[in-house]
Amino acid sequence: MADFLAEKRAEIDERLKELRPLHEEFLKLERAKAALDGVDDRPRRGRPRGSTSGSSGTRRRRRRRGGTRGDEALALIRQNPGVTVSELARMMNIDPPNYLYRVMANLQADGAVTKQGKGYVAT
């Protein structure tokens, strides 16, 4: 009888060793499913939540001291309403004018200028 019990205990121990990784995977999958239950299915744009730098989570643009290209472009737009990026680049001696497109996008985002046709007007 003792041999029978020892044999059955050994079989049970062996089977438990086989099942342990499956049980751990089962628990891991349950935790992952629970974590996903609170997430909606809509596709997200941009960076993942919580990946912003800084404590406030808002994006800040670093401003240089003194005059910037944006300030210079804004002054020229006030003097020449409807001026295009190419014309601004010539007035500011910027070649090629590609950099100025980013400056203009920032000014638009700040609400300092609006685009009318191909040109820009100060607001």
Domain ranges of the chain: 1-38, 69-122
CATH of domain 69-122: 1.10.10.10
Express each pLDDT in 28-84 by its tens digit: 999 888 888 877 666 666 666 666 655 555 666 665 555 688 999 999 999 999 999
- At 39 the pLDDT is 73
Residue ranges of alpha helices (H) inside 37-97 are 69-79, 85-92
The per-residue DSSP string of 6-46 comes to HHHHHHHHHHHHHHHHHHHHHHHHHHHHHHHTTS--SPP-S
* pTM exceeding the 0.75 threshold for the entire prediction: no
Whether residue 114 is predicted with pLDDT greater than 90 in this model: the reply is: yes
Whether residue 11 is predicted with pLDDT greater than 90 in this model: the reply is: yes
- At 62 the pLDDT is 62
What three-state secondary structure class fits 122?
Answer: strand
